[in-house]
Amino acid sequence: MNIKELKSKYDDYYKSLKGFTVVLSILNFDCNTIAPKKSLEEKAELTSSVFEEYAKLSTSVEYQEVINELYKNKDKLDENYKRIAVLKKKELDHDKAIPLDMRKEYNILLRKSFLAWRDAKQNNDWKSFEPFLEKIVDYQRKIAQLWGPIQGSLYNTLLDSFEEGNTTEKLDVFFNSLKETIIPLLHKIQQKNFKFNDKFITAKVSHNKQIKLAKYLLKINGFDLSRGCLAETEHPFTDGITPNDARITTHIYENLFLSNVYSVIHEGGHAIYEQNLSNKLIDDLRNAPSMAWHESQSKFYENIIGKCPEYINLISKKINSILPKEFKNKTTPEQLYLAVNNVQTSLVRTEADELTYSLHVIIRYELEKKLINGELEVKDLPVAWNKLYKEYLGIEVKSNKEGVLQDSHWSSGSFGYFPSYALGNAIGAQILNTMMKDFDVFEAVNENKIKQKIGKWLKDNVYIYGAKYSPNELVLKVTGEELNTKYFTDYLVKKFTKIYNL
């Protein structure tokens, strides 16, 4: 088979496999949003049959031959197909390492465990979820062993599946550098005992008003609702099913409307990335190179743009219009800016302020690293969790619902994902530094030209590459240097020193 025939054969397989992933994504989205609760367990079994067909095709002898040939001839391929050959060989080796029956059983377990987690969280019932998580951790350890430990660590193997090229050795240095800035800065802010008027943030805002506000925010940020949708779920997520089908979810709390505001801005950042990946890329490279890169976009929109004074000024009239009469037109942009940037240690990661957020991620990183490497058992997880919240954030965890049960990630087997959030913050700040060399980012926000200037720059300088390069290579390509936490820590120090007059 010559190179042209080989590439054509691969393209045919990609289309077939993509069809399965689209179906599985739609089924997953349905189960997490509007599907009747009583249908979910039976769907877990039925969905597994679709997954089984996908798994068979992705490990078939014929498909293996195509991928192996591509990889063997990678130096004869153009850089796009060379990158595909490397990525698909790694993916194939991982798939082949796990017996089909094991993959099918694990897929069923994950679907059932999500339902168990959702009920456990709602009922504050850790014990009902514990056996599911024990099985998931056991599977994750076995999978990492089959894939092969990296530098002797099972957790490194799982981490590499989300963050190619990263290891705990690198991340320990990364997180230590964050702690060295964040913890002293947090203590300085706490000593100020700063008070401001924030009664309006718990004002009751109706479901319908919040949905209208969410769509307004998505529109001004550049999300195309004709190529996507907004739905509701227990734990917000985004699914980029295809470039013309990017689905966002949120969770409405009628007495915490800012939760929805920043959930939607965050998820919208993910979806804008999905919608604007270059159509000049080969289909299989129309992805982010890692979850950290995806999180860099959601965090960029949520925090760097969404919590800057210019953005608050831009949206304050709209927010005032939905508030109850006792606050309507009385909440100033300055009050709103202070409210969304209030630094206050809290229990829930998704509601955490921009400064302390990374501490929540560090706690999860340290726990899941120990879980996978066999240094911590699932039954001891709540105690370990509560201890770290006391140590890093100085707060007591009184409920597993707001503690170990708050995130959905482990119920879906996503061990190695959490570091992506903090890495994304750092990448986002480095992108800001680079973007500011071309134009004033915050003046663009002030002019309500987020899509026209900021979105266009990201499209031309980030989205154009997709997964063409490794995560670390892309940082260098976009910013001209390797990942440097200095940009993120300097950003935090400058912002919060000014807000709190330190």
CATH number reported for the structural domain that contains residue 244 in this entry: 1.10.1370.30
Q: Does residue 256 share a domain with residue 373?
A: yes
- Amino acid 53: pLDDT: 92
Instruction: State residue 284's pLDDT score.
Output: 87
Q: Are 435 and 454 contacting, i.e. CB atoms less than 8 angstroms apart?
A: yes
Determine the Cα–Cα distance for residues 219 and 268; give it in Å rounded to an integer. 9
Q: What's the mean pLDDT in 60-78?
A: 94
Q: Give me the pLDDT at residue 384, please.
A: 98
Task: State which H helix or E strand residue 248 sits in.
Answer: strand 245-250
Mean pLDDT, residues 90-98: 94
pLDDT at 351: 87
Q: Which two tokens stand for residue 229?
A: 């949708």
Q: Name, in order, each residue with C-beta under 8 angstroms of 145's C-beta and a sequence gap of 6 or more.
A: 154
Cβ atoms of residues 55 and 92 within 8 Å: no
Count of domains in the chain?
2
pTM tops 0.85: yes
Do 194 and 74 belong together in one domain? no
Residue-by-residue DSSP string for 446-481: HTT-IIIIIIHHHIIIIITTTTSS-HHHHHHHHHSS
Residues 496 and 343: beta-carbon distance below 8 Å: yes
My answer on whether 359 and 210 are in the same domain is yes
Q: Is residue 155 part of a domain?
A: no
At 67, is the pLDDT very low, low, confident or very high (cuts 50, 70, 90)? Answer: very high
Residue 145: inside a domain, yes or no? no
pLDDT digits (tens, 9 = 90+) for 359-379: 999 999 999 999 999 999 999
Are residues 374 and 457 both part of a single domain?
A: yes
CA distance from start to end of the chain: 68
**Which of 69, 97, 125 delimits the end of a domain?**
97
Inside any domain, residue 112: no
What's the pLDDT at 47? Answer: 85
Q: Is the pLDDT confidence value at 1 over 80?
A: no
Q: What is the pLDDT of residue 240?
A: 93
Same domain assignment for residues 84 and 199: no
Average pLDDT taken over every residue of the chain: 94
Tell me: the pLDDT tens digits for 317-346? Answer: 999 999 998 888 788 999 999 999 999 999
Mean per-residue pLDDT, 134-160? 96
Residues 199, 61, single domain; the answer is no
- If asked whether residues 89 and 205 sit together in one domain, one would say no
Asked if residue 113 belongs to a domain, the reply is no
Contact status, residue 252 vs residue 211, Cβ threshold 8 Å: yes
Q: What is the pLDDT of residue 111?
A: 87
Cβ neighbours of residue 424 closer than 8 Å, sequence gap 6 or more? 291, 292, 293, 294, 295, 296, 297, 298, 299
- Could you report the per-residue pLDDT of 448-463, keeping only the tens digit for each? 999 999 999 999 999 9
Element (H, E) at 242: strand 238-242
> Minimum mean pLDDT among 28-37, 132-141, 166-175: which range?
28-37
**Residues of the domain holding 359:** 169-499
For 29-36, the CB contacts below 8 A with 24+ separation are: 29/231, 29/239, 29/241, 29/247, 31/111, 31/114, 32/114, 32/233, 32/234, 32/237, 32/249, 33/231, 33/232, 33/233, 33/249, 34/231
| Section 238-264 average pLDDT | 94
Write out the two tokens for 119: 């009920």
Instruction: Judge whether 446 and 314 are in contact, CB under 8 Å.
Output: yes
CB half-sphere exposure, 477, CA atoms < 13 A: 18
The answer to whether residue 84 is domain-embedded is yes
The whole-number pLDDT of residue 134 equals 98
User: Do 314 and 404 fall into the same domain?
Assistant: yes
One domain, residues 342 and 215: yes
- Kindly state whether residue 328 falls inside one of the protein's structural domains: yes
Over residues 122-144, mean pLDDT:
97
CA torsion, ordered 359, 362, 367, 373, to nearest 10 deg: -170
Residue 268 inside a domain? The answer is yes
> Which tens digits make up the pLDDT trace of 173-202?
999 999 999 999 999 999 988 888 788 999
Residues with a known catalytic role: 267
By DSSP bridging, strand 238-242 and strand 245-250 are: antiparallel
CA distance 136 to 370: 14
Measured N-to-C along each axis, helices 168-192 and 154-162 cross at an angle, to the nearest 10 degrees, of 80
Among residues 97, 132, 148, the one where a domain terminates is: 97
Select from 266, 265, 294 the least CA-distant residue to 471: 294
Last residue of a domain, one of 51, 77, 97: 97
In a domain, 134, yes or no: no
Name every residue whose Cβ is closer than 8 Å to that of residue 336 and which is 6 or more positions away in sequence. Answer: 312, 316, 319
Q: Is there a single domain that holds both residue 68 and residue 173? A: no
Does one domain contain both 91 and 190? no
Strand order from edge to edge, sheet including 228-232? 228-232, 245-250, 238-242
d(CA 323, CA 443): 27
Q: Specify whether 318 is located in the same domain as 408.
A: yes
- Predicted pLDDT at 83: 95
pLDDT of residue 193: 83
